[in-house]
Structure 1
Amino acid sequence: MQLSASPYEERLTAPRSWWAICFLIGIAMALVFLPFGTLPLLGALVGGTAVSAVVASAYGSIRIRVVGDSLIAGEAKIPVAALGDAEIMDQEEARAWRTYKADPRAFMLLRAYIPTALRVQVTDPADPTPYLYLSTREPERLIAALEAARATA
């Protein structure tokens, strides 16, 4: 598979504040185990922090990539030839499209902690998905990568 002229890859990592929350969850677990002594308290602190950090890391490990002639967003893979126009959405428009304007048939790769998004029309008549909603911190770069991949396809 040939890489596009403008390869794109973005990991939708969790914000830094989530890591502080992971530590606070560890502290809360430690407080629960406080009556049982020092060792259970320390175990709960470490265990609670570690488990919540693993959950935050897993939630933020999803990626959006343009590889060759395909867009890979999470578990979905779609050829760029099946994609139509892309629209950059600011914070307010993105909120609208993930709530009351959303189509239940759409593919939604959303992370509420990312304020901007890209809505890409699906032009494949065999695909019932009307559009892809992709949370992205760099919508301009993603559009450029899609256009470059479309030009080389």
Structure 2
Amino acid sequence: MRTMRNVADVGALTVLAVGSATAFSATASAAPNVTPQGVCGKAYKTVNSAPIGSLGTVYLTYNPANGENCVATIRSNPGTVKTMGTWVYVPDTGDSAEDVGNYTSYAGPAYVYGKGHCVSWGGSISNTYVTVENSNCASLKERRVTEVR
């Protein structure tokens, strides 16, 4: 009886260890599959994007139901912690939002109400910065700047 219990305990621990390893590997492998909708929300549709060199991409999304823009910066190759940022600004209203910190795969979300307004937005990874001004405006020409500092 005691032998059967030890075998059952070892079997249960093996299942627990395999299940934990599977759960942790699923989380780690999910990081490269980060999407703007995963960061901002399913209702947000990507309306613009800009590469941040070869390091990643900053995405501008919009939710027509609530009139909000959301910006997310997503790395091409998640891994070690890097300084990252994302920001959005509505010049007409002065509203802005940002998220800057040390992250392994993405920065954001940063939300601001932007229905009927031009927006300026951008993102950074390490020392590479992208700024997009006068975006999604009918009358103004968009201006993009990428710089390495």
Q: Please classify the TM superposition score into its range, dividing by the shorter chain length.
A: 0.3 to 0.5
TM-score by length of 2: 0.32
Work out which of the two has the higher radius of gyration on C-alpha atoms and give 1 or 2: 2
Of structures 1 and 2, the one scoring higher in RCO (CA 8 A, sep 6+) is 1
Bigger proportion of residues as strand: 2
Structure with the larger helix share: 1
- TM-score, scaled relative to structure 1: 0.32
